[in-house]
Chain A
């Protein structure tokens, strides 16, 4: 009896291994954003197509990069979605491999800005977004980034913290408007520091802003276009500013982990994600703006996203190298002038 028991336990313990051998596993690392939509629109269809198992790790980019660094010798993640600047950081740290774009059937369809955002062949853009100012059109008029600091407005704005993705681009545009556009962002951080007691808050999560806008706590805030949809549902008039200095923004890219044993599968997944079909469904669900130029959107979706080659080209993005080399300095200046 005892022997039978041991044997059955052993078989039960082995069976998952048997299954894993038959079915390959691809591990991806992505932002913890809209994961329900991603599961139904991207992950499940891909699993069905490749006959493999997809393991999804989520978190903010710093956590995920730290994890990739810790597992450098024996990578767990095969493919990661990160910001442009983080892709350069990963590349500098030797964590990622060149992307062999010849193997991507959808590569030629991408907007030129998304093809090789950092110019090092290590990443491919899958979505980009504009960053501008959402504001109460019945209370104010925004024609310039500097309007945010006008005495009659400044007590009603929320500005992104320098630690968020929207912080540095917004500071960069404010610097442009103030005529102090140095890479160290000193001019704009100092200008904010002088008004820090008036500014309502330096937000860290854009999800908080809709409530603050609803409560009339704030009238305006620089935001990424991906969080715009929430504002349009409010029962107050909200407009998207087109400041004379232009709009800024960011791009997210896909990278391949160096030393991954599933690079072929990772490439397949990357190609799948960049395909016209997947990019269209993601955009129609307002999850991500498309980087694929063949995507044709309904007017409703186009109005809520960052859409079209002209828009993509017009965005004033901070070059990754500048972001990376200045990040520590931005935080230091911010903490000295604004943080206390």
Chain B
């Protein structure tokens, strides 16, 4: 398209300079704070961070919840995506619209709705006590379960949409062919559908996992300080304790975990593919 590389580079330069100055550089400065103490490079902030039981608990909880939300959204996502892909065009369009709809509503509004739904007088507890499953309303708000439900609802659409596009790109006759050759439904999924849609799963999985890991509003509102996650802990460090070093440590951990999740999921996908 361009006559020489120089022209292309010149065009890219303003954007590159902008991104470097207002994004990469500040992030680098912030992250480097975590590796410096008394003018020297050190890992002491990291060893100190992981030496505190609270921090370890919060780290493991964030990691576990991220995995759980990703796994459950993959299961529900595949089922929903299958159902939607096989619908006639109008029905498909409507359902995709419904799936996308929550993405257009502010996460704050969506999360506050859960406070009403999961509360002692909310619809869930009314159902539970009404059916006689429990005499007393259950404690749902400000628990890990509430955070899990909130995050799942927040990020499930991203998984469904990724899987829909992956399933649509799959050859139409792959499944009938596998069935004709005698595969049961489990084999069809495991040996045909999963390998052919792995990219959608990787994209969806990365979005859901990193999203759950870095979401702030949902854990803050539905979990509060009883269910601290890395992001809520980071907020506490900055705005309460004014401890930017610990916050930078958490930020670095979050970035590393996000990249690691992406690389790991890609590896898993290609490994399955080679077999």
Residues of A within 8 A of B (CB): 60, 62-63, 65-66, 155, 161, 163, 196, 200-204, 208, 211-212, 215-217, 328, 331, 335-336, 339-340
Contacts and interface: CB of A to CB of B under 8 A. Distances in A.
B271 interface: no
A339 B54 contact: yes
A200 B142 contact: yes
Given A161-B225, A340-B53, 13 more contacts: A65-B242, A163-B236, A163-B240, A202-B225, A202-B226, A204-B220, A204-B225, A211-B115, A212-B115, A215-B119, A217-B119, A339-B54, A340-B228
B239 interface: yes
The 4 closest A-B pairs by CB, nearest first: A163-B240, A215-B119, A201-B142, A335-B54
A294 B70 CA distance: 62
B240 A62 contact: yes
B242 A217 contact: no
Interface of B: 52-54, 57-58, 115-116, 119-122, 139, 141-142, 220-221, 224-226, 228, 236, 239-242
Contacts of B122: 215
A215 B121 contact: yes
Nearest to B56: A340
Contacts of A339: 54, 225, 228
Nearest to B220: A204
With a 10 A CB-CB cut-off, give which of B57, B58, B236 has the most chain A CB atoms. B236
Nearest to A66: B242
Contact of A196 (B116, B120, B226): B226
Residue of B139, B221, B224 with most chain A CB atoms under a 10 A cut-off? B224
B225 A340 contact: no
Nearest to B244: A66
7 contacts: A161-B225, A163-B225, A163-B241, A201-B142, A201-B224, A202-B224, A340-B57
Contacts of A217: 119-121, 141
B49 to A, nearest CB: 13
A336 B53 contact: yes
Contacts of B116: 215
A216 B137 CA distance: 11
A181 B225 CA distance: 24
Contacts of A331: 240-241
A201 B226 contact: yes
Contacts of B120: 215-217
Contacts of A215: 115-116, 119-122
A60 B236 CA distance: 12
A88 to B, nearest CB: 15
Nearest to A59: B239
Of the listed residues A196, A211, A215, A328, the one surrounded by the most CB atoms of chain B closer than 10 A to its CB is A215
Contacts of B228: 339-340
Contacts of A328: 241
Contact of A204 (B53, B57, B119, B224): B224
Contacts of B53: 336, 340
Interface centre among B139, B221, B239 (most CB of A within 10 A): B239
Nearest to B52: A335
A161 B226 CA distance: 10
